[in-house]
Amino acid sequence: MLIDGQPVAGDGRLSVINPATEQVIGTAPDASPDDLDRAVAAARAAFPGWAATPIEERRKALHAMADVIVAHKDELKSLLTSEQGKPHADAEGEIIGGAYWLRGTATLDLPITVQEDADGRTSETRHVPIGVVGAIAPWNFPIILAMFKIGPALLAGNTMVLKPSPFTPLTTLRVGQLVADILPPGVLNIVTGGDALGPWLTSHPGIDKVSFTGSTATGKRVMQSAASSLKRVTLELGGNDAAIVLPDVDVDAVAQDLFWAAFANSGQICIATKRMYVHEDIYDRVRDAIVAYARTVKVGDGSEQGTQLGPLNNRQQYERVLALIEDAKAQGHVFLMGGDVPETPGYFVPITILDNPPEDSRIVQEEQFGPILPLLRFRDIDDAVRRANASEYGLGGSVWASDEDKASEIARQIASGTVWINETRHLSPTTAFGGMKQSGLGVEGGVEGLLDYTNTQTLFRRGKQVSTA
Ligand code: NAD
């Protein structure tokens, strides 16, 4: 682990499994409560100095971290594939994307608002760091989602204790080793451990804010546990994104994009398309084009040349997805492809596409988080919007059409934090991203995301302006 700038082995060990082979590929420390206490104490001790460091220096630190990550991208890519399962090309994209995120975040500024009232009294509202951030990342994008937190938290002047998922701790620990010399000791600490460590972190009295990315069910537990000391929380949670495909779309031009909207990272993306509503005039053509393309996509071990989709990341998720497939079979839903899971080693699930299952079926209503797509027919656009919005989730969504004005009009009616037109999944470090309803609380990215790592402070002064520093 990385605690107070030093490598710490800890007493216990966690086994890490390659999801393509189910073989143990290494071990990571299993932190004790004492290890966590040391990490939090180091972050608290480092906080005043880091908060007082000029923001220009903090920007430079983010760039230096990005440089070292890019310089080690080949090593990091292989390690990420071996513990996460995603193909090498996607793993490299995630590593480079993580560096890009740090650089993009480094361009942001903390706004200061100066006002003068009728009596000549001036006020200055500024944004100060909160303190120690406890950050918890999931296993689907361990590096880039950690950078979503590290970048803005550190730029704003906070220090951090980061906990990666027990399924994917190794690449994050390696990044910690690589950046250890760039930051003052204690500014970034990384602890790894099993199921007990998350709740210890979220209830720790030395943590001032929790930034959590994971499932909605766990997010609720995080918020409950943070309430004990009124910690600030940012929650990036689950989704059940709908795509709405309008009848004027150029089917051949968008078929591949529609496929990848649902199946990239084997469907293990919070903002994957998990339900696709297709207008009845083009339903058959869209269905046939997606299935024809899906048949050309290679599923396999992410370390093998040519693999486009890897296995699911872990047994727990694999069993959840298998249970959804079994339910769809038991209900007699129509499978256009997939559904038969091989009995070979590895958490492999074939690309599975369903033909217009009932709206109230589990495969439509639940977040699958696997390579499954229900195609759903609609006739009336208002009905499609209503069905898209009839969900406890509100993370993302997309509208596909040749008439982009019409698509924008529909996009504005979708109750989700992000809506894309004729694409999906694009995010930017300078743009806010977050969920409505039970998909989350607060945002990451953009100035809005940076402000979520600050407390707001106003200075009033009778007479002249206070300062603009
Ligand atoms: P998860 O909720 O099972 O676990 C996330 C992390 O929380 C892990 O590190 C885990 O160890 C830790 N944890 C578990 N119980 C905890 C507790 N009681 N207190 C504190 N921490 C605890 O999620 P997952 O299965 O790793 O990730 C998949 C989910 O994440 C999906 O629902 C997906 O949609 C969501 N997700 C959301 C976003 C987003 O930005 N909105 C991004 C990626 C993934």
Residue of 270, 312, 318 to mutate, ligand 1, most atoms within 8 A of C-beta: 270
For residue 304, the one-letter residue type is E
Residue 434: its pLDDT value, please? 98
Q: How do residues 264-315 score in pLDDT, each as one tens digit?
A: 999 999 999 999 999 999 999 999 999 999 999 999 999 999 999 999 999 9
Token pair, residue 29, equals 């420390």
Mean model confidence pLDDT for the chain: 97
Distance CA 160, CA 175 (A): 15
Mapping DSSP to helix (H, G, I), strand (E, B) and coil, where does residue 57 land?
Answer: helix
Reference 169, options 80, 233, 288; nearest CA is 80
Ligand 1: nearest atom to the Cα of 239: 34
Angle, nearest 10°, between helix axes 55-71 and 88-105?
170
Residue of 140, 433, 439 to mutate, ligand 1, most atoms within 8 A of C-beta: 140
91 lines ligand 1 (CB under 6 A): no
395 lines ligand 1 (CB under 6 A): yes
CA 265 to chain centre: 12
Q: How do residues 135-148 score in pLDDT, each as one tens digit?
A: 999 999 999 999 99
Ligand 1: nearest atom to the Cα of 435: 41
Domain ranges in the chain? 2-237+439-459, 241-421
Reference 233, options 396, 456, 417, 453; nearest CA is 453
> Is-contact 171 143, C-beta < 8 A?
yes
In CATH terms, the superfamily for domain 241-421 is: Aldehyde Dehydrogenase; Chain A, domain 2 (3.40.309.10)
Name residue, tokens 């486009």.
308
Residue of 141, 215, 273 to mutate, ligand 1, most atoms within 8 A of C-beta: 215
State yes or no: pLDDT of 468 exceeds 60. Answer: no
Residue 463: its pLDDT value, please? 74
Catalytic residues: 236
136 lines ligand 1 (CB under 6 A): yes
pLDDT (mean) for 241-258: 98
Reference 172, options 219, 214, 139, 133; nearest CA is 139
For ligand 1, atom 40, which residue shows the shortest CA distance? 236
Q: How do residues 87-115 score in pLDDT, each as one tens digit?
A: 999 999 999 999 999 999 999 999 999 99
Sheet order of strands, 397-400 included: 335-337, 352-355, 372-378, 273-279, 241-245, 397-400, 420-421
Task: Find the distance separating the first CA and the last CA of the chain, reported in whole Å.
Answer: 37
Ligand 1: nearest atom to the Cα of 439: 41
Q: How do residues 38-62 score in pLDDT, each as one tens digit?
A: 999 999 999 999 999 999 999 999 9
Q: Which CATH architecture has domain 2-237+439-459?
A: 3-Layer(aba) Sandwich (3.40)
For ligand 1, atom 23, which residue shows the shortest CA distance? 214
State yes or no: pLDDT of 469 exceeds 80. Answer: no
For residue 372, the one-letter residue type is I
Give the bridge partners for 241, in sequence order. Answer: 273
Reference 79, options 147, 9, 175, 8; nearest CA is 175
Res. 417 pLDDT band, cuts 50 70 90:
very high
> Is-contact 70 96, C-beta < 8 A?
yes
Beta-strand runs (E) in 71-170: 113-116, 122-129, 132-136, 159-163
> What does the chain come to in residues?
469
Instruction: Enumerate helices (H) and strands (E) in the chain, giving the number of each.
Output: 15, 24
Q: What DSSP state is assigned to residue 235?
A: E
Element (H, E) at 175: helix 170-179
Rounded to the nearest whole angstrom, what is the distance from the C-alpha of residue 138 to the centroid of ligand 1?
A: 5
Distance CA 191, CA 189 (A): 7
327-400-98-81 Cα dihedral, nearest 10 degrees: 40
234 lines ligand 1 (CB under 6 A): no
DSSP for 346-376 reads S-----EEEES--TTSHHHHS---SSEEEEE
